[in-house]
Amino acid sequence: MTTTLRDAHGQALSTTDRASLAAYEHALDLFHSFRTDPVAVLTPVLERDPGFVSGQLLMAGMLLTAFDGQLLGMAKASVDAAAASPQKANEREQSLIAALGAWSGGDALRANQLLGRHLIDHPRDLFALQLAHLGDLFLGHSFMLRDRVARSLTQWSAEDKGYGYLLGMHAFGLEECNDYARAESVGRRAFELQPHDSWAVHAVAHVCEMQGRVADGVRWMKATQRHWATDCGMAVHNHWHLALMHMASGDMDAALALYDDAVTPAPEAIALNLNDASALLWRFALRGVDVSQRWQALAARWRLQAAWGSIAFNDVHAVMALAAAGDDDAASAGIAAIADAARRPGAQAAAVALPAAGGLQAFAAGQYARCVELLLPVLAASSPLGGSHAQRDLLHLTVIEAASRAGDRALVRAMGDERAARKVATARPARAEDPVYA
């Protein structure tokens, strides 16, 4: 007979062990703020208490939201341990077992649907909300990044522990739905409530990126940097944002220094970090900066890392790096794996990834007209690839540069006019009342 213990948000856990609960809450807070290292906090607890259902589910969720195909097996083992626990899982935990079981089995869309229903029944389950939010991002469900959080907002108050994390997610959803003024306001408020919320910081960075407010963006990132630059799972991505801002201002030296100092993948880097490194180097190459030696080092990492066919967003970035490094055989093998994945039922992401990867490979080979031919139709339908608008903008930038190198001046003009109109329509100057965080 288990005793019902509850976490700080009132969610029931099937355990009698208060020490396990305390470690769970510590790891969960680290997970919400993307600080390191929640896995290290939770691992000894699960070694001592392998039947801790919610602990095993937290471990599975943390592994799955790394979006690294190499970790699916470990995540499945945690889900299986939760399902087989002699401690009887409660209704909430059973619901999560079903969702995370689908995800670890390779069906992220089904998992996202199950998490959506779960959150209707458990709107204060912040762990499940973060899982679904990150799933929405990598499934390309831009509106749900906003609306799924909105479904739960009225069930929370500003006095609730974790409310800032809720606002940080909502801010990012608002930004991805082009509601930039509200996104920035909510993101700044989230940061005020929880300065360690690097997701909220990144939401405001996205606003500045999409509005072309380079100086505001640099000021924001530098003012908040001490909260996310170290011991943080978002450090690479937020430095990526800062590098993009330096690049937009024309300070290529500062941007390249950030790549070398903060974005170059460390030995323990997951695929998400390799994606950021690949996307940043590609942008340098589009600007004519020689990064050839850096490509060689990054491609070597992808050869060890790539788990082809499991996550389309990763596959495209791996092909990008391998092609840019001149390893056409490996890039072609990656494209063949994407083609296999695209033949599976409901493989929308792979169907977009196939021409995207092919277009990037064509660009690396100097086949600029072929690059345009493959990428141009993808631009209006790239959402299923996953990632943010800012991340997928790399495809737009590549089409513009490929058109320029192919001599297609009409396309360069049209794409340039489109981008300029979008930036002007959304931009706003900095205001005196905008807070600055030192």
pLDDT (0 to 100) of residue 424 = 53
Rounded to a whole number of angstroms, the distance between the first and last alpha carbons of the chain is 51
User: Could you tell me if 310 and 69 are in contact, meaning their C-beta atoms sit under 8 angstroms apart?
Assistant: yes
- Per residue in 305-329, pLDDT tens? 878 888 999 999 999 999 999 999 9
- Per residue in 38-48, pLDDT tens? 999 999 999 99
Q: Which residues, in sequence order, are CB contacts of 39 under 8 Å at separation 6+?
A: 27, 59, 62, 63
Q: Largest Cα–Cα distance in the chain?
A: 74
pLDDT (0 to 100) of residue 250 = 94
- Per residue in 274-310, pLDDT tens? 999 999 999 999 999 999 999 999 999 999 887 888 8
Report d(CA 12, CA 88) in Å as an integer: 12
pLDDT (0 to 100) of residue 365 = 97
pLDDT (0 to 100) of residue 115 = 98
What is the average pLDDT across 21-25? 95
Report d(CA 68, CA 79) in Å as an integer: 17
Sign of the dihedral defined by the CA atoms of residues 334, 360, 396, 274, in that order: positive
Q: Is the pLDDT of residue 2 over 70?
A: no
pLDDT (0 to 100) of residue 275 = 97
What's the CATH superfamily of 135-263? Tetratricopeptide repeat domain (1.25.40.10)
pLDDT (0 to 100) of residue 248 = 95
pLDDT (0 to 100) of residue 175 = 98
Confidence band, pLDDT 50/70/90 cuts, at residue 23:
very high
- Per residue in 107-160, pLDDT tens? 999 999 999 999 999 999 999 999 999 999 999 999 999 999 999 999 999 999
User: Could you tell me if 227 and 195 are in contact, meaning their C-beta atoms sit under 8 angstroms apart?
Assistant: yes
Which has the closest alpha carbon to 360: 290, 271, 295, 273? 295
Q: pTM higher than 0.75 for the full model?
A: yes
* Between residues 356 and 5, the one the model is more confident about: 356
Which has the closest alpha carbon to 347: 355, 338, 360? 338
| Burial call 105-144: b when 16+ CB within 10 Å, e when fewer | eeebebbbebbbebbeebbbbbbbbbbbbbbbbbbbbbeb
What is the average pLDDT across 250-257? 96
- Per residue in 90-99, pLDDT tens? 999 999 999 9
What is the average pLDDT across 368-373? 98
